[in-house]
Chain A
């Protein structure tokens, strides 16, 4: 299968910006996604970006896509303690098969 990689841990102070990075190998990716998983809960879709876009903004979330480098990032502005969770990057090229990253555990320090 395709490789989707993320760093495992990130700590930030409350009020700072968080940037979670993801790299992938499939050059034919159509959609790229960010999911959030809070403790004891399922995966919640945060946002997704179509591969012909460079950037997508949704309130405190900014997604940047560098298709040439196969790099996706999620920036969370004014990070709050409620943002503490695991964030999964995922990519899909057919819709049937998703490839998930290992997840980045974000800890927000008050």
Chain B
């Protein structure tokens, strides 16, 4: 069973479109994250949710909107996609309360905006 899964794995779309990436974790963790990895492999945190509440919101354009319907899911919706949004997006989860906080990552979603 995959611990942290993301869909889709690849996403190719035109500039200006709206798209969503889904993330699910079956580890029972209380915290989930979205990261962006650019072409130089630098990893930057975007958002963090703890028990469905937003706790970290780094400086990202408001075209990016995370949604957490429940503790096991954290989806990322992107409006009006731009060329610079092309990157690999990673979802992660961890158990912060009563746990080590170790983050477990999904396989990534490779987004290419044309």
Residues of chain A whose beta carbon lies under 8 Å from any beta carbon of chain B: 30-31, 33, 35, 37, 41-45, 48, 86, 88, 90, 92, 94-98, 100, 102-103, 105
Contacts and interface: CB of A to CB of B under 8 A. Distances in A.
Contacts of A90: 103
Contacts of A103: 41-43
Interface of B: 31, 33, 40-43, 45, 48, 50, 55-56, 90, 92, 94, 96, 99-108
Given A43-B90, A94-B101, A88 B50 contact: no
A44 B105 contact: yes
A43 B79 CA distance: 27
Nearest to B108: A42
A92 B107 contact: no
A43 B101 contact: no
A96 B106 contact: no
User: Most A CB atoms within 10 A — which of B42, B92, B96, B103?
Assistant: B103
Nearest to B91: A42
Given A97-B45, A97-B56, A48 B102 contact: yes
8 nearest A-B residue pairs (beta carbon): A95-B101, A95-B96, A43-B105, A42-B105, A42-B107, A100-B43, A42-B108, A103-B41
A31 B45 contact: no
A42 B108 CA distance: 6
